[in-house]
Amino acid sequence: MLFSFAQNQPFVIDGEPVRFSHFNSNGDLLHFENDFRETKSIPEPKFAELVSDQRVRHGQGNSDKVLDERTQRALRDIASFSKNQIQHAMRRRRYVAAIAAAGIPKNREKSWPSIIQSLADNLGEKAPSWQSVARWMLKRTAGDGNLSELVPAFHKCGRREEFRTQEELAFIGKILLKYLESGYSKENIWKEVQDAYRDPDNPCPHWWKLPCRSKIMKMIDRLPARTIMAGRKGNGAARQALQIVGAGPQAYFRLQVVEMDSTWLDLILTDDDGNELGRPNIVVAIDRHTRMLLGHYIGFEKASIYSTIQCLRDAILPKTYVQREYPDITLPWDAFGNPQSVMVDGGPEFNSISFDEVASAMPFTIQLQPVRKPWWKGKVERILRTINQSLPAKLAGATGHGNDDRKPGVIRRH
């Protein structure tokens, strides 16, 4: 029993004057009478909620009996907690009361779990451990039966509020912005913070306390990676390195989507006399669904509508010449056919009237890759990268990607 009221003790519940009548036999139901002798029954948990909502106050009637000290403390303490906290406290009290009703068996480990589980089954909830119930009993005993002792300390959970003022945080933030500049390390920022707090020429308010090194390091680590890269290398580099990459349109059967692209090979070809012939350009067409290479074209001219059409021609026609010219290749190259659609980027050879006429004559539809989203045709981008990294690097005359130091060599053409 949480409350201890004297008979005819006056109260005001939701503005209605009532007097306490009696408890029921179990002590968990309070009965009140109004001035018309009408009985009003309130469960003890509900009465605790009314007290929490400040809907109950001690009425001043003709009776000279007052609330005892224990009840006054209980009403005062409960009113300071939320409904959720009170509900948790009432739940804990039920388990404590169940153990007390069983005579508080001494063998806790063997006797208490069955009592706790039986009550949990009746309440339809997960049973707490007997160790938890034992802690609750100790708190209830130490608090002289006060329900507030069983209230969970929710207010102590989670992060503490930042004790620094917004002005001080802005002061630190200006120093942290230097980290976005190239050449500044975390240690440099920590030294800058120390110097700023200890600067005699521009003293900080006396209540500002120098943050510890780990605090500054955590604040730096919370800076977005995109913001750091944008500050150091520019928005373009940050967008290219950290943008979200997704999948392009799905292909469900062969030749539904064919990807085409071109690139310069990292290779300089020379003739037998050592004269430089130039840097070859390769155009590739690949089937998105099967990842089979459909066609290619290699020439010394810059990517144009001519090289594009030659690649399409190789993709459409059968590859019977491969086994005829290279007998060592035993497996047939059966990847050929008219594509249903061709995905290309914004190159001038693809955005031309001639390419539109070819698409209308064959026919196939043209799908344009969105600007700055190369992953939309990632299959052809990958094979071009594989070709450029594996083949030229093994040959004389390889330049290396993005390297101006060329290694000329003699490469005989067939």
Question: Could you report the per-residue pLDDT of 297-331, keeping only the tens digit for each?
Answer: 999 999 999 999 999 999 999 998 898 899 999 88
Q: Tell me what the mean pLDDT of segment 120-135 comes to.
A: 91
Q: What is residue 407's predicted lDDT score, i.e. its pLDDT?
A: 47
Cα–Cα dist 82/225, whole Å:
41
Residues of the chain above pLDDT 90, percent:
33
* Pick from 37-41, 153-157, 327-331, 381-385: least confident: 153-157
Between CA 173 and CA 179, with CA 176 as vertex, the angle to 5 degrees is 155
Q: What is residue 63's predicted lDDT score, i.e. its pLDDT?
A: 39
pLDDT band at 36; cut points 50, 70, 90: low
Q: Tell me what the mean pLDDT of segment 180-187 comes to.
A: 83
Give span(s): CATH 3.30.420.10, the chain. 258-394
Instruction: Specify whether the CB–CB gap between 16 and 9 falls below 8 A.
Output: no
Say if residue 309 is exposed, middle or buried (CB neighbours under 10 Å; 0-12, 13-18, 19+): middle
Q: What's the distance, Cα to Cα, between the start and end of the chain in Å?
A: 102
Is residue 61 over pLDDT 60?
no
Is residue 403 over pLDDT 70?
no
pLDDT band at 138; cut points 50, 70, 90: confident
The mean of the pLDDT values for the chain is 80
Residue 285 or residue 137, greater confidence? 285
Q: What is residue 24's predicted lDDT score, i.e. its pLDDT?
A: 66
Cα–Cα dist 72/68, whole Å:
6
Q: Tell me what the mean pLDDT of segment 224-242 comes to.
A: 84
Task: For residue 327, give both structure tokens.
Answer: 């007998």
pLDDT band at 23; cut points 50, 70, 90: low
Secondary structure (DSSP) of 188-213: HHHHHHHHHHT-SSSPPPTT--PPPH
Radius of gyration of the chain (CA): 41
pLDDT band at 339; cut points 50, 70, 90: very high
* Pick from 74-78, 314-318, 346-350, 395-399: least confident: 74-78
Residue 74 or residue 335, greater confidence? 335
User: pLDDT for 63-105, tens place per residue?
Assistant: 334 445 445 545 555 556 677 777 888 888 889 888 888 888 8
Q: What is residue 30's predicted lDDT score, i.e. its pLDDT?
A: 61
Q: What is residue 240's predicted lDDT score, i.e. its pLDDT?
A: 76
* Pick from 150-159, 208-217, 289-298, 321-330: least confident: 150-159
The domain made up of 258-394 has a fold known as Nucleotidyltransferase; domain 5 (3.30.420)
Q: What is residue 151's predicted lDDT score, i.e. its pLDDT?
A: 78
Q: Which residues touch 383 (CB under 8 Å, ≥6 apart)? A: 284, 286, 293
Residue 102 or residue 5, greater confidence? 102
Residue 26 or residue 9, greater confidence? 9
pTM above 0.85, yes or no: no
